[in-house]
Structure 1
Amino acid sequence: MAELVGPRLYSCCHCRNHVALHDDVISKSFQGRNSRAFLLSHAMNVMIGPKENRQLMTGLHTIADIYCSDCNHVLGWKYERAYEETQKYKEGKFILETSKIVKENW
């Protein structure tokens, strides 16, 4: 008999708090501060830090770091605003660094 397996998830690598669903991944070809990163439409069980303007590889953005709601480890950031028209699709989306997350239910 097959075992029931829940949705494929990503969890904080420090405390295993669930932070994202695999189904919310938009792209796997982004770069974070320290590692490759995923662009996601949603994140869960995270806290959003203060907004700041940051010059990224794709131009100036207003972003806010996101932290695991259990252990406060920085996992990536949320795009609050993109100043270049070609980057507007990122607004409201999340970056999770692959070095900060682990796969669950794969």
Structure 2
Amino acid sequence: MGRIFMITLEGRIYSCKHCFTHLALLDDIISKSFHCGHGKAYLFDKVVNITEGEKEERMMMTGLHTVVDIFCVGCGSIVGWKYV
């Protein structure tokens, strides 16, 4: 893997709770009505500074979906999932 260039966002942001790497703008929220095993989850239009895991079929509240977990590039913590 090559060198990682992190994007710095301006304005009100969401960041990784472990290393504070910028992930998304407040204005990029589409919905706050999602839930996961750890509580609330938000749906964003755009996120930055993430890497993706492997595709997998996962049973969600709305049925079976193909998703990938997403990880913070700053510290490697899982920060959510992405529908593919």
CA distance in structure 1 between the partners assigned to 2:11 and 2:42 by the alignment:
17
CA distance in structure 1 between the partners assigned to 2:72 and 2:39 by the alignment:
17
Q: In structure 1, what is the equivalent of residue 49 of structure 2?
A: 45
Output the amino acid matched with 1:21.
L
Give aligned pairs, total: 75
Q: In structure 1, what is the equivalent of residue 3 of structure 2?
A: none
Q: In structure 1, what is the equivalent of residue 15 of structure 2?
A: 11
Q: In structure 1, what is the equivalent of residue 4 of structure 2?
A: none
**SS, match of residue 50 in structure 1:** coil
- Superposed CA offset, 1:53-83 (max 9, x none): 0011100100000000010000110001xxx
TM-score of the two chains, using structure 1 as the length reference: 0.69
Structure possessing the higher relative contact order (Cα contacts under 8 Å, 6 or more residues apart): 1
Q: Is the 8 A contact 1:32 1:76 kept in 2?
A: no
Q: In structure 2, what is the equivalent of residue 56 of structure 1?
A: 60
Q: 1:47: Cα distance to partner?
A: 0.5
TM-score of the two chains, using structure 2 as the length reference: 0.86
RMSD in angstroms over aligned alpha carbons?
Answer: 0.8
Q: 2:79 aligned with 1:75, yes or no?
A: yes
Q: 1:35: Cα distance to partner?
A: 1.3
Aligned structure 1 segments of 4 or more residues deviating by more than 6 angstroms: none
Q: 1:33: Cα distance to partner?
A: 2.3
Structure 1: runs of 5+ lacking an equivalent: 1-5, 81-106
